[in-house]
Amino acid sequence: MGENILKAKALPNQKERTALKPNNMTSNGDSNFTNRDAFRQAVVNTLERRLFYVPSFKIYGGVAGLYDYGPPGCAVKANVLAFWRQHFVLEENMLEVDCPCVTPEIVLKASGHVDKFTDLMVKGGKTGTCYRADHLLKDFCKDKLEKKDVNITADKAAELKHVLAVLDDLTAEELGEKIKEYAIVAPESKNPLSDPYPFNLMFQTSIGLPGLSPGFMRPETAQGIFVNFKDLYYYNGNKLPFAAAQIGQAFRNEISPRQGLLRVREFTLAEIEHFVDPDDKSHPKFPEVSNLEFLMFPREKQVSGQPAERTCLGEAVSKGIVNNETLGYFIGRVYLFLTYLGIDKDRLCFRQHLANEMAHYAADCWDAEIECSYGWIECVGIADRSAYDLRAHTDKSGVPLVAHEKFAEPTEVEKLVITPVKKEVGLAFKGDQRMVCEALEVMSEKEAMEMKADLESKGEWSSIKTGDEQLNVFRFPPLVAPIKCTVFPLVQNQEYEEVAKSIAHMLTAAGISYKIDITGTSIGKRYARTDELGVPFAVTVDSTSSVTIRERDSKVQIRVNVEEVASAVKEVTEGQCTWNDMLLKYNAPPVPDDE
């Protein structure tokens, strides 16, 4: 089992690679601007003046790296997040979670953040200001190169360029040596600098009484998904693959925030963890994206100095440039997401990580980079991280976060099937026939055997488990209900399954959350399962032209044409009409008020 990770984040270490850009900003209609800085300044001015965003706590002088979104910025953010939910979560039936930002130390110790989520700092003099070691070295090299210092030989220039290229890969020792070699000092005080030392980028806090339970503000949202793996796997019926998603705040205590909204101290992350069988990373929906063509920049081209190139995604996977179909599928979906949001195709490139950029456990990693006035900036990271995180939390917590292998061969299992004889139940229970049948169908094997024994020995049976968890129904109004409807074929049959799938497709397009179940479980059992989630409508496919929609509380059904199902559920969910309106429209008797 492994995971593929999709992240949209403000990257601490993006690289500047202006030489690699397929076009540049001034050639593209922005002819009023002679350079990127002027263009950026004009955009930033407008954005701040119209309150898209402003520096936070401005009346107190502001805090570097913290920004407020004003009304238009807030609306843009809400639109993008809503579309992200529609495009990823709803379209792929992902399991969304929402975990706290406050995180106990042990979780981030296991994930490696406590020990490794650091920047290297240097201090100017014993009590002096602190700086990021790589920033000082970078500024020094750029300064020398840009000033075209006449004292610099061609060899020296080549060396400085090399330092800039490998900057992100330097160890503390290497950085310290270069700073000594170039005699770099503190910018203001001109004091000599200390050796580089690690500074953790997480905001530290304390949970409960001081000193008892150290904690951090999460630096990413993914760990909340990993620690819930067991529950989510169970929620998914103990089956792989499945994906979990989370949208939420992340916090990074950057020492020198820069580049406007690109490197900030608090931001909203939208992350997906897709859990897949490590021995089968094929993806059933890959054909839907395999014909897409866009700029890709594989490792080999980067190393050999070739440019990025328009590539067909299907070919990139079949040639092994992209490691597997699942990774490829998400690259394609991210491409569609970004271009639908309005990102210029010519300024969007998928760049593969070089071997030294990837963690040792990762199988492959691609970044969606967008060219903006700061150069090419990573906006989405898509990585196959294997099961690294799950293993780390398994080791630390002692709770095995594993998925079980399926049987290679089908096995025979003897199973008690409860089949109410509807006619006899009808004679005995009259109008309650349906409810009694449903109650019988939802019984567990054990309960049924106990009932049988009671009936045989005592001639009667009564459930002592009133208030039983199986009988709970959440009566969410349709607006609030987490899942708006279920789609079940009445019997297992390919024609009905096709109809169910086409209805599911129409529901997705209409933005309606649903649960489809083609397992052939009894209808009664399925109702009981979904009543517990408060699902207000159940669509049962019992023909290829029309289907029934049953309302949860009244249990009344209407018959609706297949093409009208999605719009009918949408209308009654969003409040354009009530269930009674639907009854009138579809000629069923309205439900009395007191039901």
Distances (CA, A) of 68 to 166, 588, 590: 35, 52, 50
Give residues 37-56 in contact with its own copies (rule: CB under 8 A).
38, 42-43, 45-46, 49-52, 54, 56
Give residues 139-198 in contact with its own copies (rule: CB under 8 A).
none
Under 8 Å between Cβ of 451 and 461: yes
Q: Which of the 8 DSSP states describes residue 210?
A: T
Residue 291 or 397: the one with the smaller Cβ distance to its own copies is: 397
Give residues 513-532 in contact with its own copies (rule: CB under 8 A).
513, 532
Binds its own copies by CB under 8 A, chosen from 266, 369, 371, 378: 266
Give residues 19-38 in contact with its own copies (rule: CB under 8 A).
32-33, 38
Residue 43 or 145: the one with the smaller Cβ distance to its own copies is: 43
* Cross-strand bridge partners of residue 561: 546
Residue 15 or 515: the one with the smaller Cβ distance to its own copies is: 515
For 433-453, letters b (16+ CB in 10 Å) and e give bbebbbbbbbbeeebeeebee
Question: Which residues of 256-412 form beta strands (DSSP E)?
Answer: 266-276, 293-297, 309-312, 348-352, 364-372, 375-386
Binding mask 461-500 for its own copies (x = CB under 8 A): -----xx-x-xx-xxxx-xxxxx-----------------
Query: For the CA atoms of the chain, what is the radius of gyration?
Result: 30
Residue 280 or 432: the one with the smaller Cβ distance to its own copies is: 432
Binds its own copies by CB under 8 A, chosen from 143, 231, 280, 405: 231
- Name the minimum Å distance from CB 544 to its own copies: 26
Binding mask 552-571 for its own copies (x = CB under 8 A): --------------------
Binds its own copies by CB under 8 A, chosen from 16, 21, 22, 76: 76
- Name the minimum Å distance from CB 196 to its own copies: 15
Q: Are β-strands 375-386 and 2-8 bridged in parallel, bridged antiparallel, or unpaired?
A: antiparallel
505 touches its own copies (CB under 8 A) = no
Site size for its own copies (CB under 8 A): 99
> What span, in angstroms and rounded, lies between the C-alpha atoms of 99 and 118?
24
Residue 12 or 100: the one with the smaller Cβ distance to its own copies is: 100
Give residues 533-552 in contact with its own copies (rule: CB under 8 A).
533-534
Residue 471 or 556: the one with the smaller Cβ distance to its own copies is: 471
Residue 171 or 205: the one with the smaller Cβ distance to its own copies is: 205
- Name the minimum Å distance from CB 146 to its own copies: 25
Q: For residue 537, with 0-12 CB atoms within 10 Å meaning exposed, 13-18 middle and 19 or more buried, which class applies?
A: buried
Helix, strand, or coil (residue 516): strand
Q: Which of the 8 DSSP states describes residue 416?
A: -
Neighbours of 586 (CB within 10 A): 16
Binds its own copies by CB under 8 A, chosen from 112, 161, 180, 235: 235
85 touches its own copies (CB under 8 A) = yes
59 touches its own copies (CB under 8 A) = yes
Residue 169 or 563: the one with the smaller Cβ distance to its own copies is: 563
- Name the minimum Å distance from CB 519 to its own copies: 18
Tokens standing for 252?
A: 């990074």
Tokens standing for 316?
A: 């990139």
Give residues 296-335 in contact with its own copies (rule: CB under 8 A).
none
The dihedral built from the CA positions of residue 173, 107, 110 and 278, taken in this order, carries a sign that is negative
Binds its own copies by CB under 8 A, chosen from 24, 28, 189, 204: 204
Distances (CA, A) of 406 to 6, 94, 238, 241, 399: 26, 21, 10, 12, 21
H or E element in which residue 538 lies: strand 537-541
- Name the minimum Å distance from CB 501 to its own copies: 21
Residue 143 or 553: the one with the smaller Cβ distance to its own copies is: 553
Q: Which stretch binds its own copies (CB under 8 A): 79-87, 171-179, 271-279, 346-354?
A: 79-87
* Cross-strand bridge partners of residue 269: 248
581 touches its own copies (CB under 8 A) = no
> What span, in angstroms and rounded, lies between the C-alpha atoms of 467 and 457?
25
- Name the minimum Å distance from CB 212 to its own copies: 9
Q: For residue 400, with 0-12 CB atoms within 10 Å meaning exposed, 13-18 middle and 19 or more buried, which class applies?
A: exposed
Give residues 91-150 in contact with its own copies (rule: CB under 8 A).
95-104, 106-107, 130
69 touches its own copies (CB under 8 A) = yes
Give residues 333-352 in contact with its own copies (rule: CB under 8 A).
340-342
Peptide bond into 12 cis (omega under 30): no
Contacts 24+ apart (CB under 8 A), 175-180: 175/120, 175/133, 175/134, 175/137, 176/122, 176/133, 178/137, 179/122, 179/133, 179/136, 179/137
Q: Which stretch binds its own copies (CB under 8 A): 272-280, 375-383, 394-402, 429-437?
A: 394-402
- Name the minimum Å distance from CB 460 to its own copies: 20
Binds its own copies by CB under 8 A, chosen from 199, 374, 461, 586: 199
Residue 35 or 291: the one with the smaller Cβ distance to its own copies is: 35
Phi, psi dihedrals of residue 155, rounded to the nearest 5°:
-60, -45
- Name the minimum Å distance from CB 59 to its own copies: 4
591 touches its own copies (CB under 8 A) = no
Q: Which stretch binds its own copies (CB under 8 A): 251-259, 352-360, 361-369, 381-389?
A: 251-259
> What span, in angstroms and rounded, lies between the C-alpha atoms of 579 and 554?
10
Distances (CA, A) of 570 to 81, 567, 574: 20, 5, 6
- Name the minimum Å distance from CB 176 to its own copies: 19
Neighbours of 146 (CB within 10 A): 8
